[in-house]
Structure 1
C-alpha cells in the first residue's frame, strides 16, 4: 500500500475510502458472544497493537488476560509478522466462542490505518525506537491513548514534542519501563524517599554496553513481504541489509544504528534511569543540570552508537549521579550491583540497589522496614497480580477507562529519556554540557544544542 502524507487528513482519507468502497472495520461482536466474562462493548477497551515483533507479542499477550480489553487490530510493515499476530489473537478469541471461530482482528501494514478506525480506543506501540514518538504523536492527534515502549524518542526535540501532543490532546500515556509495576522496586524507592538510607549522597546507574556491528554487511533485495519505505519512515534512506533490519544473528541494528536509536545508553538504561527519576520526581530533585564524562564509539562497522560511557550527571544541589555501562562498572566497587541493569542509592545510613531482577539493601534490616501511612507512598500498579509486565499493561488499561494518569506518565518518561540524550551528547562533543530545566534546552554550547534535533525524511517531521 502506498504511504500517504503524514497528516490527520491522511487518517480521515483512509476512513473515507473504506466507506466509499463499502469496506468497514471488522464488526466487534458482543462480549457475551465472545464468552469473555459478559463485559459489554461499551466498557471494553479496544486496542491496536502496532508492531508485531518478539517483544510486542510477548507483552501484548497481557491484553488477553482480561475481559475488559479486546485486540481488534495488529500492524506491521512485515506482512508475515502481522499475519502471524492476527492468527495468534484470533485463535485466542476463537477458543472462547461456542462456534470455535473468530476473524475480527484486522491486520494492517500502515499504522495510520489503525489510527483511522473509530473503534480503536488505544494502541500499544512497540516499534523500533525511531518510530516511538512519531506514532505516539499521531495517536494523540487521532484521539487514541497509548502505551509506548522505552526508550522514548531519538532526540530531545522528539521527547518534548511527544509530551506536548499527549497533554494537548488529553491522552492517557504509559511508558514501557515496567519496573515501576514491581512491588519490590516501588518499596525500595519509597524507602529512599522516606529517609531509610539517610541523606542520599551519590547515585550509580548501570546499563548494558552497546555493541559493535558487522564490518561486512552486504546489501540485499528487499523481502517481498516488507514495506521497507514504511519501515524506514522518518529515518534517512539506506539500502536494506540483514544487520540493519532483521533481528537476530548479525542484526539488531535497530538498537545500535544512530539513524534508528542512540544505543543501550537509552534502550536498556531507560529502566534504571526511570527508577531514579521516580525518586527524583517525588523528592523535588527534577533532573541533573550538568553532564560531563567520556565514552567510546565504534571505530568501524555499521553500528555507530556510543558503546561505553562514564558520565557524571550533577543535580542543581550538587548531588552526583554516575551513569555508566556495565563493562565500565565492573571496574568499580558499586554496592548491590547483581546484574548489568541497576540503580544504587548511597545514603549516609545505608544503601539500596534496584537491580533488574531483584533489590539489594544494606543494612539488611531495611527489608523489614514499614512505610507508615503518613509517609510518602508511590502509586501502585499491581492490578491482576504478578510483577513487571502484566500489572504494567493492565493498570494502563484501567487508566484508559478512568482517565487517571498511569504510574509511568509522560512527564517522567521525558525527563529520564532526556538524561540519556544529554549523556550521549556530552560524550559525542567531548566536553561538559549544561541543561536549563526551565527553558528545556542546552545552554552555552551551540554545537551541543543543535544535537537536540534530528533531521528526518521529507514528510515525517513531528
Structure 2
C-alpha cells in the first residue's frame, strides 16, 4: 500500500548549526538537524489516549503516515484527529513494520505488548519512540537491550521527565553541583493505586479485537462495567494498568517517571545507584497465593505501599510510597529539595538567585546534548537529534531498564510480601527461587518473542 500525504502539521524550523547553542539556567537550547536532513515518516502503533496525546508532538518533526490499532474505533478517531482522514490504517502491526518507507514507529500500545513490537521493529530496521514502562518483566528488558545492541537502532523511551529542562533537569543539576551534599534519603510519592468493584464479563465493543489486544497475555474474558456516575471499570482500554497481567500498577506507571529521576539523582551526586534489595509493605484489594492473584474480576495491582530500596553504596535509601505528595523529595546532609511536574522548591533552589549554577550545569546532566523546548517537545527533538547522529538518546533502553528493574522488583516484593534481594552484576534475584521465576512471564501460543 502506498503512503499518502498526511495533513499538514505544525513544523519546527531547524537551525543549520547544531553547535550554536545558548544555555542559561532558565532558557532552553536551540539546535538543528543537518541542513540536508529530510523529514522522516513514522507510524503510530496504538492509537489510544497516550498515542493520540504524544503523536502530535512527533508530527512537528516527522510525517505521520500510518496508524495501527486492534480497535476500529481508535483508528477512525485517530485518523480524523491526527491525519485529516488521510493515513493508511492497519490492524496488524507487522504490516506496518514491513513497509520500507516508514523510518520510525511510535509504540503506544498497552505495556504487555511493548517488548514484542519493539523487538520486531528494531529487527525490521525501524527506530522507535516507545512509551514507558518499556517492558512487563525484568527478562524482557534484557532481550530489548540485547537486540538494541545487535541492531544499533535508536530507541527513545517515553520518560519525558528526562527532558524537563526547568524542573527535573534543573533539580539534577543542583544535586550534581553538590548543593545537597551527600544524599541520605529520597522519598518518591506516586499516589495510591486504583480500586474497582467486581467487574462482570461483557462483550467487547464492535470492531474491538479482544483476542488480538490480549496478545501475549493469557486468554481471558473481556470485562466492563459503567457505574451510575458514568465511571468505567475494565480489564481492557484505559484501565489495563491496574492488572498485573498487563502492567504493574502505580509502581510502573508513575514509578517509571519518578524512580527514574530519583536514581539519576543518586548518580548525579556521585553515589552508587546499583540496587541491592527492595522490602516493605503493600496492600491489594484481592488475595494472592505464591504471588498470583486469586480473583480475576477486579483490579489486582497494589493500591497502598511503603517500600525501601537499598543500594550497593549503603549510604542512601529510596522510599517509594503512596501516601505523600506526588513527586520526589531529595534529602542530603547539606540540604533538601522537592520536585514534581508543577514545582521545584527548597533552600538550594532559593539559593540560585544569589549563587547561580555554572553555565554548563544543565548541559552536563543532559549528556552534553542540546535541549529544544521542554518535556515532550524536547524529548521528541532529542530522539531526532539522536537518529541523525546514531547515538543513544537521553532516555535510552539501557539506563531506563536499570531504573525500571527497581519498579519490577518492587512489584514482586508487593506480590510476595517479602524483601527481594538483587545482584546487579548478574541481574538476578538471589536467594528466592519463586521470586526469581517472576522475572519472566510465559507467552500465549502464537505470541512468543522469537530469539
Q: Report the TM range for the smaller structure's normalisation.
A: 0.7 to 0.9
The runs of 5 or more residues in structure 2 that have no matched partner are 15-34, 287-294
Is the CA contact 2:12–2:60 (under 8 Å) kept in the aligned structure 1?
Answer: no
Instruction: Give secondary structure in 2 for the equivalent of 1:80.
Output: helix
User: Where does residue 71 of structure 1 map in the other structure?
Assistant: 64
1:372-429 deviation line (CA, Å, top 9, x unaligned)? 35768112677542x2111112221222222121111111110111111111112222
User: Where does residue 82 of structure 1 map in the other structure?
Assistant: 75
For 1:367 and 1:257, the matched residues in 2 are separated by 44
Is the CA contact 1:78–1:226 (under 8 Å) kept in the aligned structure 2?
Answer: yes
User: Where does residue 127 of structure 2 map in the other structure?
Assistant: 145
Q: Does 1:453 align with 2:440?
A: yes
The runs of 5 or more residues in structure 1 that have no matched partner are 1-23, 92-101, 330-338
For 1:198 and 1:172, the matched residues in 2 are separated by 35
Correspondent of 1:186 among 159, 165, 169: 169
Using the TM superposition, give the Cα deviation of residue 42 of structure 1 relative to its aligned residue in structure 2, in angstroms. Answer: 6.6
User: Where does residue 351 of structure 1 map in the other structure?
Assistant: 336
Instruction: Give secondary structure in 2 for the equivalent of 1:43.
Output: coil
C-alpha RMSD of matched pairs (Å): 2.7
Correspondent of 2:321 among 314, 320, 325: 325
Instruction: Give secondary structure in 2 for the equivalent of 1:289.
Output: strand
Using the TM superposition, give the Cα deviation of residue 444 of structure 1 relative to its aligned residue in structure 2, in angstroms. Answer: 1.1
Instruction: Give secondary structure in 2 for the equivalent of 1:392.
Output: helix
Using the TM superposition, give the Cα deviation of residue 35 of structure 1 relative to its aligned residue in structure 2, in angstroms. Answer: 11
Q: Does 1:308 align with 2:328?
A: no
User: Where does residue 44 of structure 2 map in the other structure?
Assistant: 49
Q: Does 1:361 align with 2:361?
A: no
The verdict on how the C-alpha distance between 1:243 and 1:236 changes in structure 2, with shifts beyond 3 A counting, is: farther
For 1:444 and 1:293, the matched residues in 2 are separated by 17
1:56-114 deviation line (CA, Å, top 9, x unaligned)? 11111112324xx11111111001111221223332xxxxxxxxxx83x2111111111
Instruction: Give secondary structure in 2 for the equivalent of 1:225.
Output: coil
Instruction: Give secondary structure in 2 for the equivalent of 1:250.
Output: strand
Is the CA contact 2:307–2:321 (under 8 Å) kept in the aligned structure 1?
Answer: no
Instruction: Give secondary structure in 1 for the equivalent of 2:352.
Output: helix
For 1:137 and 1:321, the matched residues in 2 are separated by 34
Using the TM superposition, give the Cα deviation of residue 28 of structure 1 relative to its aligned residue in structure 2, in angstroms. Answer: 5.8
User: Where does residue 21 of structure 1 map in the other structure?
Assistant: none
The two structures have a TM-score, normalised by structure 2, of 0.84
The verdict on how the C-alpha distance between 1:457 and 1:43 changes in structure 2, with shifts beyond 3 A counting, is: same
The verdict on how the C-alpha distance between 1:378 and 1:34 changes in structure 2, with shifts beyond 3 A counting, is: closer
Correspondent of 2:249 among 253, 257, 263: 263
Instruction: Give secondary structure in 2 for the equivalent of 1:377.
Output: helix
Q: Does 1:158 align with 2:140?
A: yes
1:325-367 deviation line (CA, Å, top 9, x unaligned)? 332x3xxxxxxxxx42x11110111112221222112245333
User: Where does residue 113 of structure 1 map in the other structure?
Assistant: 95
The verdict on how the C-alpha distance between 1:176 and 1:119 changes in structure 2, with shifts beyond 3 A counting, is: same
If each structure's helix is expressed as a fraction of its own residues, which one has the higher value?
A: 1
1:260-284 deviation line (CA, Å, top 9, x unaligned)? 1111111111111111232344535
Bigger shift: residues 280-289 or 417-426: 280-289
The verdict on how the C-alpha distance between 1:78 and 1:198 changes in structure 2, with shifts beyond 3 A counting, is: same
For 1:219 and 1:55, the matched residues in 2 are separated by 26
The verdict on how the C-alpha distance between 1:248 and 1:438 changes in structure 2, with shifts beyond 3 A counting, is: farther
Bigger shift: residues 447-456 or 358-367: 358-367
Equivalences for residues 212-291 of structure 1 within 5 A? 212-215=195-198, 217-242=199-224, 249-251=232-234, 252-282=238-268, 283=270, 285-291=272-278
The verdict on how the C-alpha distance between 1:363 and 1:237 changes in structure 2, with shifts beyond 3 A counting, is: same
For 2:135 and 2:9, the matched residues in 1 are separated by 38
Is the CA contact 2:129–2:157 (under 8 Å) kept in the aligned structure 1?
Answer: yes
- Number of equivalences: 409
For 1:317 and 1:233, the matched residues in 2 are separated by 41
Correspondent of 1:62 among 51, 57, 60: 57
Is the CA contact 2:190–2:255 (under 8 Å) kept in the aligned structure 1?
Answer: yes
For 1:179 and 1:262, the matched residues in 2 are separated by 19
For 2:369 and 2:82, the matched residues in 1 are separated by 25
User: Where does residue 3 of structure 2 map in the other structure?
Assistant: 26
